[in-house]
Structure 1
């Protein structure tokens, strides 16, 4: 077994009533893949550095959420919300006729994975959450910060109407890298910004060597899922015995004291829950993919192992730990005994 190649992919377009959901299906397209969902204001390019480190016996379908990347925008007059984003998971499953889904989400994508898994646990076989557990809990302070969203959303609608007649301000790639990095509080350094820019900018028709942001400005003011401590805890209680991996960036604040109760519930009732911390900021999967991949690969091999027919224990021994080799051998011999008993 090897790893996925960033150049081995199929561009996909999943139908939606307002247009389409854009994505890239990397690697194996004969088996049900992992569905990877990016974070707020990002796009599927945030997985670029992680994809080549994942095992190639499983494919990975990365999608752009509506209004992000190359996916269609919602019609004028509509707004974006977490509740509608959660429904995207179900739309993708319906498109490919999946009865189960394996989820990997960063930030907003991890929030969507958490909510969907809690609401439809029978349809999820595993979750990988990258630097997130749950959305911000409701508080008076948080509500006051959201109140300006209404006016700003209307401003973005006016800008969208103007864009149909005039090209928006454009910038050099160096300027765009700087702007994007600052917008993530340097979680995405300028030298890594190109992984996100290639799906979120359009080349200017007026000025050579200049580009402008093409994502829908309304996504900046989406409606967050109303999350109170009691609701967050109850959602966690619904996720029982579900393989659930959480990887936190050491310098990130997205997993904090408000997540402790949910993590405690997931850990106490779920023998398949894992929590690891890796050096890095919020986009740790993009900037430190090697360390992140170590935990993901081990998790995948345990909970979605390769087909037995493709196993080569001699080749695997170089990469598996002693404990993992023993478990792999036990599964292999168990399968062999069952096969022989049927002969």
Structure 2
């Protein structure tokens, strides 16, 4: 089930546009939520959740991160990074005129939401994390400093930049689905179709192209990869922000190529919750990485139960 009553918005950000969609009335009394999708997904990732989550008198704005969905691609030769995503999130918040709000993130979007909360802690009311947490450098790039990892990523990106010819590959609809579902088999055809509402474009010849930027496969993220000690130190400053983490059966993309990482991620997350100064609730809901699309009502029920105990700030 997809909730169709959403307003589409485009805002200019210098190099192009950031697209976002808004469910509900952006009134002073509404509880406000910014939804941030995962890597290669788009704002449609939250569509199945909205009939159960938004109809609680809330205003929910979900953006397409740069290079995703209907948002502009970076200029050719400019890589994607943590910073550009957080800048896009901030641009949407500024456009909406929000002063206090909650963050709802899935996968990469959950990591971005935690980073954002560390940047503007006085504004964020709570963080709702779906199948991801900030990961230490020793987990994401074992044996490397952030700068060594960054150097490796820059070299990879330059290899892509110097060989990419700028022409999007065309597919039939079936080929489009086969390619995506081969990479994310647990998504399923129905949810793939939801994502493709803004994740693909049909050409005049009847063929389809993905809207996402191929350069997203070559991000430069590692310079913001901090150690466990640094993450713990920063998180201890979020004294007023409750957080909840819902995890799938194996933390999704964290463990796709390294199954043994699941136990490490779980141990890190529980260690983080033990030092966190406010409420950090951890719930293993099982299922696939996109559980919020497969079981939206159950996901919403858990989030609503958590939010019932989060003070509502009406000053936004």
- Tell whether the structures are fold-level matches, with TM greater than 0.5: yes
The answer for the alignment partner of 2:25 in structure 1 is 28
Q: How many residues are matched?
A: 297
Q: In 2, Cα distance between the equivalents of 1:59 and 1:151?
A: 42
Change (3 A) 1:29 1:241: closer
The answer for the alignment partner of 2:210 in structure 1 is 213
Q: In 2, Cα distance between the equivalents of 1:162 and 1:19?
A: 17
Shift of 1:46: 1.0
Q: In 1, Cα distance between the equivalents of 2:159 and 2:278?
A: 48
Q: In 1, Cα distance between the equivalents of 2:70 and 2:283?
A: 32
Deviations 1:247-293 (A, max 9, x none): 01124353642453454343454443211111312111112222211
What is the RMSD of the two structures over their aligned residues, measured on CA atoms? 2.7
Q: Structure 1: 5+ residue runs without aligned partners? A: 308-343
Shift of 1:118: 2.2
Change (3 A) 1:5 1:170: closer
Q: In 2, Cα distance between the equivalents of 1:5 and 1:194?
A: 11
Is 1:240 matched up with 2:236? no
Return the index of the structure with the highest Cα Rg: 1
Asked if structure 2 preserves the Cα contact closer than 8 Å seen for 1:137 and 1:258, the reply is no
Asked if structure 1 preserves the Cα contact closer than 8 Å seen for 2:80 and 2:216, the reply is yes
- Give the one of 140, 143, 147 matched to 2:142: 140
Change (3 A) 1:72 1:169: closer
Shift of 1:112: 0.8
Asked if structure 2 preserves the Cα contact closer than 8 Å seen for 1:105 and 1:113, the reply is yes
Q: In 2, Cα distance between the equivalents of 1:141 and 1:195?
A: 39
The answer for the alignment partner of 2:257 in structure 1 is none
Asked if structure 2 preserves the Cα contact closer than 8 Å seen for 1:32 and 1:98, the reply is no
Asked if structure 1 preserves the Cα contact closer than 8 Å seen for 2:117 and 2:124, the reply is yes
Deviations 1:61-84 (A, max 9, x none): 010001100001112221110122
Change (3 A) 1:151 1:161: same
Asked if structure 2 preserves the Cα contact closer than 8 Å seen for 1:32 and 1:59, the reply is yes
Q: In 1, Cα distance between the equivalents of 2:75 and 2:290?
A: 30
Find the residue that maps to 2:247 and give its secondary structure: strand
Change (3 A) 1:211 1:136: farther
Deviations 1:180-202 (A, max 9, x none): 12222x23123321121221212
Find the residue that maps to 1:303 and give its secondary structure: coil
Q: Which has the higher contact order (CA 8 A, sep 6+)?
A: 2
- Give the one of 16, 19, 31 matched to 2:16: 19
Q: In 1, Cα distance between the equivalents of 2:247 and 2:279?
A: 17
Once the two structures are overlaid, the 10-residue window that deviates more, 239-248 or 256-265, is 256-265
The answer for the alignment partner of 2:78 in structure 1 is 78
Shift of 1:151: 5.2
Asked if structure 2 preserves the Cα contact closer than 8 Å seen for 1:236 and 1:266, the reply is no
- Give the one of 297, 308, 312 matched to 1:290: 297
The answer for the alignment partner of 1:69 in structure 2 is 69
Asked if structure 2 preserves the Cα contact closer than 8 Å seen for 1:233 and 1:261, the reply is no
Once the two structures are overlaid, the 10-residue window that deviates more, 114-123 or 58-67, is 114-123
Find the residue that maps to 1:132 and give its secondary structure: coil
Deviations 1:298-326 (A, max 9, x none): 1233326699xxxxxxxxxxxxxxxxxxx
Asked if structure 2 preserves the Cα contact closer than 8 Å seen for 1:232 and 1:262, the reply is no
Q: Structure 2: 5+ residue runs without aligned partners? A: 255-261
